[in-house]
A and B are shown apart, each in its own frame.
Chain A
């Protein structure tokens, strides 16, 4: 059977998904990047190989996420696309009539507006990480609540407390005051979800036309409290797909399938790349006062790619 692999390497998590010819998800893998994208990809590939039946053949590979270029070189991707397109494609596959996609991950959050299956507008959080998963993570730690239990706890709240959501620092001091005056943890947790939703809609969703059906994906979609808070704020149903946390990888796999239709032949280097010795190193170019930080990728001690310079004098290796 012919299958397609999608790899989404983000700042917090690395996700892989394998789909078949009919775009059905056969297997997925979710692991933490831990600041080491190369290792994460290799680990993911190793796990994936174990899960897949031997007779499956990978016909195409797509990479996405903030480390998409590095990953693309590593695995030999047929298509390298930004996470915005990948997420939109993934969501449209699941719900073809989708009009709005919310994606909240660890360090960034986006809103994607889709009309007739095409992305017409998008936005990403700009200045800070407020409105992302790390905001919730940080506050959960303060409250001594496990992030996995966060959502269920929020749903138990009877009267959510209002908490300032503009900035994590404001939220924290607001939250401590509320704790000291005797608000229950459930109410505070639910209040935090609402604060995050307000923050998201005011910053990322500013000026965007939010219409149903709405798909909510990314790591934070696991939080039921967030889904409830979105539904309350917007008055629409918010759909959390089954594979909400690997939607980017699914999208990348679909994009790979589209590419292969045209190019016919994959550049995939095979699962063996998980055993190859890849390294990256960086140096500062002193050719001009820009002092660009140039990054090199080495395969078996041989430089296979470089980037990071403004003038292009180091980019000789890429075709």
Chain B
């Protein structure tokens, strides 16, 4: 799942397990996933099922999956996908990690191949740091992309940077990789005189994090001249999954901001989408792009509330609903029009500022 897979891979590698990563999500993944999924299931379920099938084809014999208490339908992914895969006669062992902490620890200990608790803790610390480093690079790329002189150079550099970081499996390697990756990104020729638009990207975690699924919305926005910010990050997501941080974790600020509109969590990232948009509006962002997979209930709730937020705070919002389609024309038209809208608004405000 986007960058979260990196976390799992790193932990298990440090445990001394052999890790088989599914190939990068592609058209084949989507085709496989939607062939064996219920038609009305949401897109993330279909894509991750495709990922699992491709991993099993490559010879995986154990699947480790998160099965949360159910922020949304994600809660039953493990059960459902297990059922589908068993029906397809795949042989493997399923280990699910859920809210039953003592049980989780037992499962971990077994996965850790006789490593002691200190080593297990270190494995977690390293993996988290690795993910954090990757995200730092992503943030940097978001900032550089709208100012790049040659279109596409940031994406190229970021891909290289992320490859370097993904290869590391010790603290020392990671430190080196971080320095190298930062250098790679910083040396991209930039035109700092540009005044990029600031756009927030909110929405359901999976579709926001997986570029294949969202048709590289962040890259497209960046290349159209927008500095992309987003409230959804894999690390924050992992933290807020832990029960202790449920109340006080990183989601707290979104919950607080969204309070006038929604008092309770409505599942998924509904509250983050609303709260995030409000916070971006307060920080005088130019616009917000809201991404949701088709039939995603939490985001449908968010969409309804966001139209009120837009009226109250006057921030332009574009909702993109994603499904299995891979044709980009419709999406590009909407994004182009949205960016145009923001640019014209910015130009007009500048003119007003000069007159006044």
Contacts and interface: CB of A to CB of B under 8 A. Distances in A.
Interface stretch (B162-170, B175-183, B333-341): B333-341
A120 interface: yes
A312 B310 CA distance: 35
Contacts of B310: 121
B336 A82 contact: yes
Instruction: Tell me if B's interface is mostly helix, strand, loop or mixed.
Output: helix
A85 B340 contact: yes
B71 to A, nearest CB: 25
Interface string B286-315: 000000000000000000100100110000
Given A209-B311, A290-B26, A118 B340 contact: no
Contacts of B344: 85, 118-119
Contacts of B24: 288
Interface size class of A (residues with CB under 8 A): 20 to 34
Interface string B209-240: 00000001000000000000000000000000
A126 B344 CA distance: 25
A121 B216 CA distance: 23
B58 interface: no
Given A118-B348, A119-B344, A120-B345, A82 B26 contact: no
B250 interface: no
A84 B333 CA distance: 8
B333 A288 contact: no
B153 to A, nearest CB: 11
Nearest to B333: A82
Given A82-B333, A84-B337, A85-B337, A289 B348 contact: no
A119 B344 CA distance: 8
A209 B155 CA distance: 38
Interface residues of B, number: 27
Contacts of A81: 336, 340
A289 B336 CA distance: 28
A81 B336 CA distance: 8
A119 B152 contact: no
Contact of A291 (B27, B307, B329, B345): B27
B321 interface: yes
Contact of B340 (A66, A82, A207): A82
Contacts of B316: 120-121
Nearest to A315: B152
Interface in B135-176: 152, 155
B81 interface: no
A36 interface: no
B121 interface: no
Most A-side CB within 10 Å, residue of B27, B311, B333, B348: B333
Nearest to A207: B307
B2 to A, nearest CB: 16
Interface in A38-86: 66, 81-85
Contacts of B341: 85, 118-122
A120 B313 CA distance: 13
A37 to B, nearest CB: 12
Interface string B61-77: 00000000000000000
B321 A126 contact: yes
Contact of A290 (B27, B337, B338, B340): B27
Interface string B14-31: 000000000110111100
Nearest to A206: B307
Most B-side CB within 10 Å, residue of A83, A84, A124, A289: A289
Nearest to B339: A82
A119 B340 contact: yes
B26 A66 contact: no
Q: List the 8 shortest-distance A-B pairs measured between CB atoms, nearest first.
A: A84-B337, A289-B26, A207-B307, A82-B337, A289-B28, A82-B336, A290-B26, A119-B341
18 contacts: A66-B329, A81-B340, A82-B334, A82-B336, A119-B340, A119-B341, A120-B316, A121-B310, A122-B337, A124-B333, A124-B334, A289-B29, A290-B26, A290-B27, A291-B27, A291-B28, A312-B152, A312-B155
Given A81-B336, A290-B27, A291-B27, 11 more contacts: A82-B334, A84-B333, A85-B337, A119-B340, A119-B341, A121-B316, A124-B330, A124-B333, A209-B311, A288-B26, A289-B23
